[in-house]
Each structure stands twice: as C-alpha cells, then as structure tokens.
Amino acid sequence: MDIFESVNMAVKTLTANKLRSTLTMLGIIIGNASVIAMVGIGQGAQRYAAEQFESLGPNVLFVIPGSDEARQRTFEVERALTLEDAEAIASQVPSVDAVAPQLQSQQPVTAGNRRISTLILGTTPDFTIVRDFDMEQGRFFSETDLQRNTRVVALGSDVARRLFSNTNPIGQQIRIRNLSFEVIGVMESKGAFLGNNQDDAVYIPITTMSSRITGNTSPYGTEVTFISVTARDENSINAAQFQMANLLRLRHRVVNEDTFTIRTQKDALEIVGNVTGALTLMLAAIAGISLFVGGIGIMNIMLVSVRERTQEIGLRKAIGASQSDILLQFMIEAVILSAIGGLIGTGIGVAGVSLVAVTTPLQAGVSAAAVIVAVSVSGGIGLFFGVFPARQAARLDPIVALRSA
Amino acid sequence: MKPIIQLEHVNKTYGSGETAVHALADVNLTIEVGEYCAIMGPSGSGKSTAMNVIGCLDRPTSGRYFLDEVDVANLSDVELAHIRNRKLGFVFQQFHLLPQLSALENVMLPMVYGGVPNKERRERAAEALTRVGLSNRLNNKPTQLSGGQQQRVAIARAIVNRPVVLLADEPTGALDSHTTQEVLAIFGELNASGITVIMVTHESEVARKTNRIVWFRDGQVLHDRLMPEDLAQAVTT
Ligand SMILES: Nc1ncnc2c1ncn2[C@@H]1O[C@H](COP(=O)(O)OP(=O)(O)OP(=O)(O)O)[C@@H](O)[C@H]1O
Ligand SMILES: [Mg+2]
C-alpha cells in the first residue's frame, strides 16, 4: 500500500471523528502557540533592551561602583563613586567627551495644591549629551547652575503635565522637601529607558541634589549612583576605558581588587543578551513542556483509539493488511494530528506575537526558522508519541481483535 | 482434483499444563479446489480455530498446513498478509464493515492493500456489489443497510480480489431465514463459478446446501463427508 493511500485513509478516519481530532490537537495547538509566542516575545524584549543601549550610541561607557567579584560576594559596595570622581574624569581623561554622574531618589513633589511622587535625578549638563535628550521648552541647567548649587529643575514631560496641566511651567516654582525650585525647562518626551520612564522624572543639578535633598555624601565626597560617559569617538572607547580605570585606581588607592567596573555599550549589550537570552530560553522551556504534554495527549487518545478500533484492525489484517500497513496507518494519523495542530498553534502564536508588537513597544517578531522548527518539532512529537500506540495496533492478534465484540 | 487445503496432524493448544485447552487435536483434513464444504459441531469443538488456521490468521501449535501446496509455517507476516489478500476471502458472522466507509469503499479496501490502481478498484468493487445484488446501494453507509445487505457487502468484499477460497464463519448466524437463503444462493453461485467455499454453521438446513459436511468434536474431525440424513443423529451424540 502506498503512502498516499495511507494518508487518504488517515484523513478519512480523522474527519469521521472531528470533535475528538480537534480536542486531541488542542494540546499541540496550545503548546506550539506558546512556544512561538514566548520565543517571539522573548526575542522582542531582547531586541528592545538592546536597542535602548544602541540608542545611546556605541561610544557610551558606564562606570558603576564595586568590582564584578565583589558583586558576586556581597550586596554591599565598599567604596562609593563620587561626584569628585566624575569631575576628575571630565577634567583629566582626554579621550572622554561628556561625563554625566547620576544620583537619584524618589521624592514627593508639590506645585500649588498638586502633589505627586516622582524620581528626582541629580546630574550634570552633560546628561543631555550622553542620553541624547533634547528640550521641549526652556533650557537644561548649566555649568554655572552646577557650580552655584542653583535651585532650578527641568521637568520630564509627564511630570510637567501632571503638575501644571495646560499652564506653562517655565518660571513656576515646585517644592521638594519643603524647598522651592524654579522650573527652567521641560524635557522632550522620550519614553522608558530600561524600564524607567524618563518622562516621569525631575532633573536637577547634582550638586543641588546632594546638598539640599539627599545629603547623600560618603566619607570620600558626594556619592553618585553611577557615571555615564561618552568617549570622543569609537576609536577612543578602549583608551577611555583604560584611562578612566587608571585614574580611578589612583584616586581610590586600589591595591588589588578594583572598587568600580567600567562597562562599554558592547558589554552592556552582551549582558542584556545573556539575561534576556536566558529568559527566552526559560520561557521556551516552559512552553516546550506544554508541547510535550500535548504529545502525551496525542498518545493517550491514540491508545484509546487503538482499543476502540480493535475490530477494525483485525478486519484490516484479515483482508490483507500487514503489520507495517497498520503501523503506518496509526503513525500517519498521529503525525497528521500533531502537524496540523502545530500549524494552527503556530498561526495563533504568530497572531499573538503580532498583537504584542502592535500594542507594546516590544518589537516582537517570529522568524521563518522558528516557524519551521516549531511545526517540524510538533510533527516529530506526533511521530514520537504515535509510535507506541501504533505498535500496539500493529501487534494486535487479528483473531482476538475480530472476536472482541 | 487438486488439493487446496491440507491439514496434517494439526494441533492447537491454548495455555499449558493442567489448564491447557486442546482446541485442535490431531486434525487431518484435505479440501480440494471447487469444494463446497460445511464445518459443523458443538460449541467449543474447534470449528473457528480450524477456520483461523486455514485462514492464516493463526498458526498451529504443531502439525503442518499446506495452502495451495505451500507450507505456510515458513511464511513471514508480510507474505501471510499477501496470501490473505489474494487467495482468501473472509465472511464473518458480525459482518465487520467499517462504519465510516460506504459500501463501495468497504469493498474497495482489500484492493487498497492489494495495490490495485484506484480506477480499477472502483470498477471491480461496483462489479462485486452488482454480483451480490447491491448495484443500487453503492454509496450507502453500513448503518443505512439491513443485516442481509450488510452481509452481502461483506461477501462482495471477500470476493473482490478473486480469492481461491472463501472462508465463512457462521455467515448466516445473525440473519433471518429469508436473508439466509439469499446469502446461501450467492455462496452457491460463487462455488459454481469455481471458488472453494468453506463455511462453519450450526444449522442443518444451511449445511444441506453444501457438498460435504465435516463434523468436529473436542478438537477432532469426528465425521467427514457426513450424509445429510445422518445429521440429526450426529447432533444428538
Ligand atoms: N484465545 C483462546 N485462549 C484460550 N482458549 C481458547 C482461545 N480461543 C479458543 N479457545 C478454546 O478453544 C476451544 C475451541 O474454540 P472455538 O472458538 O474453535 O470453538 P467453536 O467450535 O468455534 O465454538 P462456537 O460454535 O461456539 O463458535 C474452546 O474450548 C475455546 O474455549
Ligand atoms: Mg466459532
């Protein structure tokens, strides 16, 4: 008997019992849909995070407190980075273009009778260069503001809207910790960076921040959370990294283990890739389990089907079907069920991913390779889980099968 | 005449030790081409077991079975399947039609396994159904047919590959006397056309239509070529 006949026969059997066939496929449909969706969304998240770093440009470096080794040992950071470190980098490292240390704290902010809680972010004028952040209105604070600890702020666009609605915020006063600050600018709308909404923040000179708001000074000076730096150009990234490391080692009197880590954009992208890659893998593994469960569902139903159809199997043997004919027939039924289930599931998964791509900033997408892999894997699952029931069918003794009324 | 079925010292034992059942005990039986033979005997006497051995659905525990002068003991599963497909036709008491297939498709099934081209399959299936008087029921599903009609579809299926031997285990067991006569008429015609027919039955009237009655008891051939007039006595002993 040729394969075309077997397929034809399997299709007839499966369509004769549509409800059962559909329910059997359901497990594979769900499994495949979730594999496609999880991988698609995971990769979307990866691309999204990577793009955020890429949007900073390749020349960006981050200086963060603590060494990699120390971070693995403890949560505590022994030696803080300070504003003075940032100033030293700016004045002494020639391959560096802009330096933006960052100090941040969540605080209540009031304007008139409106009160909101938002992120106060102390930094330097270079911040707008490093982040490629433009003004919507007014100006960002200047070096002079920085030197004089001026009480001026630039508002993120969301904060401006929440505090001032339609009135022009420029020249207005806001209060943080019972001190009043003058609004000198409103930032352009920029969206989130690594999960932080940059529009929901108040930008303030870092000197003002440490002296008036946080008072956050370490024994070595004004502590900062981290320092963003841009190298002069792509060729000076390595030089910048090397020079900053030397400078900071000197300043921190490092004997053996570094008190800081410098990451390039490439490093950051790599970390993002690793983290989101692991996440994607985990999601895919969970989805894979449901695909596996779907396969077991197929096996289960096929076993029931073999039992129900013993008379049919006996009859087929009596009229000339060999063991391999019967084996093939049941295998094909299992593979058709799982492959079609896989196709439908893939369709649903692709639709889900497209929906995510449309409704969220995640650029989720499904590659053709992922679809091919998913469909052939589900077909393979049918093959794998179909073997056992099909062998049971093939080995049925025709006499016993025909007698079971 | 040429022998088609030869059983030599055939035993079939189920189980072992004290609980062993000797379904066939040293059965010797030769049936020639063109014979119309009834197998009779009390329940449990081994009739169906003998039919299964003859039909290559079962292998004897010991002894030899020649089908068309070939010792089937040495044949593989595929070869046996081929023999069942080409040389043998089966008719069962419970018809065993596939419910999802039409009469025509049921009759086409043996040709599917026999590798007959699709077009020829349809023609031959329609022909076989015409031969059993069902030319107007080709596309009916089994549930849309009476018991007698279903059995006739099953007969059409059994003969569509032009078998040498037709094996029928109580083919009229589920039919009323009228449809029994119809089925027997078909068997008579088939036998007249040269097909060897072997039929298990409990009914004397059915057996009387055949040319040879073999009487089984306790897994043995007790009487062969039993005269119809001696049937009544055989039944009581
Ligand atoms: N698979 C089996 N396992 C064990 N014993 C069996 C098996 N098949 C048949 N037998 C036994 O073998 C004997 C012969 O059975 P068989 O079916 O050939 O009888 P039969 O003559 O066809 O009876 P009936 O007229 O009731 O159909 C019986 O005693 C039966 O119980
Ligand atoms: Mg019987």
Q: What pLDDT is stored for residue A194 in this prediction?
A: 67
**Do residues A208 and A248 share a domain?**
yes
Whether residue B109 lies within 8 A of chain A, CB to CB, comes out as yes
Domain boundary among A195, A223, A258: A258
Whether residue B141 lies within 8 A of chain A, CB to CB, comes out as no
- How many angstroms does the Cα of residue B76 sit away from the middle of ligand 1? 25
Range(s) of the domain holding residue A356: 3-51+271-403
B38: helix, strand or coil: strand
**Do residues A19 and A84 share a domain?**
no
**Do residues A254 and A289 share a domain?**
no
In this structure, is residue A201 part of a structural domain? yes
**Do residues A129 and A235 share a domain?**
yes
**Do residues A275 and A252 share a domain?**
no
Note down pLDDT in tens along chain A; length 405 residues: 678 888 888 898 899 889 989 998 998 899 889 888 888 888 888 888 888 777 777 788 889 888 777 666 666 556 688 888 998 998 998 899 899 999 888 899 999 888 999 999 999 999 998 888 889 989 999 999 988 989 999 999 999 999 998 889 999 999 998 899 999 999 998 877 766 788 899 999 998 988 888 876 677 788 888 899 999 888 888 899 899 999 998 888 887 778 888 888 888 888 888 888 888 888 878 878 888 888 898 899 999 999 999 999 999 999 999 999 999 999 999 999 998 999 999 999 999 988 888 888 777 778 787 788 888 888 888 889 999 999 999 999 998 888 865
Whole-number Å distance between alpha carbons of A361 and B226: 92
In this structure, is residue A203 part of a structural domain? yes
Whether residue B101 lies within 8 A of chain A, CB to CB, comes out as yes
Domain boundary among A258, A288, A316: A258
In this structure, is residue A323 part of a structural domain? yes
Among the listed residues A170, A124, A178, the one whose alpha carbon sits nearest the alpha carbon of residue A147: A124
Domain boundary among A192, A225, A258: A258
Q: Which amino acid does the sequence have at A151? A: R
Q: What pLDDT is stored for residue A120 in this prediction?
A: 92
Whole-number Å distance between alpha carbons of B227 and B232: 10
Q: Which of B54, B84, B101 to mutate to test the interface with A (most CBs of A within 10 A)?
A: B84
**Do residues A281 and A193 share a domain?**
no
Q: Contact at 8 Å (CB) between B98 and B111? A: no
Q: Residue A402: list chain B partners with CB under 8 A.
A: 57, 92, 96
Whether residue A5 lies within 8 A of chain B, CB to CB, comes out as yes
**Per-residue H/E/C for chain A:** CCHHHHHHHHHHHHHHCHHHHHHHHHHHHHHHHHHHHHHHHHHHHHHHHHHHHHHCCCCEEEEEECCHHHHHHCCCCCCCEEHHHHHHHHHHCCCEEEEEEEEEEEEEEEECCEEEEEEEEEECCCHHHHCCCCEEEECCCCHHHHHCCCCEEEECHHHHHHHHCCCCCCCCEEEECCEEEEEEEEECCCCEECCEECCCEEEEEHHHHHHHHHCCEECCEEEECEEEEEECCHHHHHHHHHHHHHHHHHHCCCCCCCCEEEEEHHHHHHHHHHHHHHHHHHHHHHHHHHHHHHHHHHHHHHHHHHHHCHHHHHHHHHCCCCHHHHHHHHHHHHHHHHHHHHHHHHHHHHHHHHHHHHHCCCCCCCCHHHHHHHHHHHHHHHHHHHHHHHHHHHHCCHHHHHHCC
**Do residues A309 and A167 share a domain?**
no
- Nearest ligand, measured from the Cα of B44: 1
Among the listed residues B140, B101, B123, B149, the one whose alpha carbon sits nearest the alpha carbon of residue A319: B101
Among the listed residues B114, B173, B154, the one whose alpha carbon sits nearest the alpha carbon of residue A2: B114
Q: What sign results for the dihedral spanned by CA atoms A52, A53, A58, A62? A: positive
A14-73 residues touching B, CB cutoff 8 A: 16
Whole-number Å distance between alpha carbons of A224 and A226: 6
Q: What pLDDT is stored for residue B234 in this prediction?
A: 78
Distances (CA, A) of B108 to A87, A316, B59, B116, B138: 91, 12, 28, 9, 11
In this structure, is residue A64 part of a structural domain? no
pTM of this structure: 0.75
**Do residues A297 and A358 share a domain?**
yes
Q: What pLDDT is stored for residue A287 in this prediction?
A: 79
Contacts of A280 (CB under 8 A, 6+ apart): A38, A39, A42, A43, A45, A46
In this structure, is residue A209 part of a structural domain? yes
Contacts of A327 (CB under 8 A, 6+ apart): A390, A391, A393, A394
Backbone dihedral region for residue A177 (phi beyond 0: left; psi -120 to 50: alpha; all else: beta): left
**Do residues A180 and A286 share a domain?**
no
Query: With a cut of 50, which residues of chain B have pLDDT below it?
Result: none
Q: Which amino acid does the sequence have at A308? A: E
In this structure, is residue A194 part of a structural domain? yes
Q: Contact at 8 Å (CB) between A363 and A48? A: yes
- How many angstroms does the Cα of residue B24 sit away from the middle of ligand 2? 13
Residue A284 has which token pair? 């895919």
Q: What pLDDT is stored for residue A258 in this prediction?
A: 81
Pairing of strands A96-111, A226-231: antiparallel
Q: Contact at 8 Å (CB) between B167 and B91? A: yes
**Do residues A165 and A242 share a domain?**
yes
In this structure, is residue A42 part of a structural domain? yes
**Do residues A91 and A237 share a domain?**
yes
Pairing of strands A179-187, A152-155: parallel
**Do residues A201 and A114 share a domain?**
yes
Domains and CATH numbers, chain B: 33-56+76-236 (3.40.50.300)
In this structure, is residue A299 part of a structural domain? yes
- How many angstroms does the Cα of residue B11 sit away from the middle of ligand 1? 13
State how many domains chain A has: 2
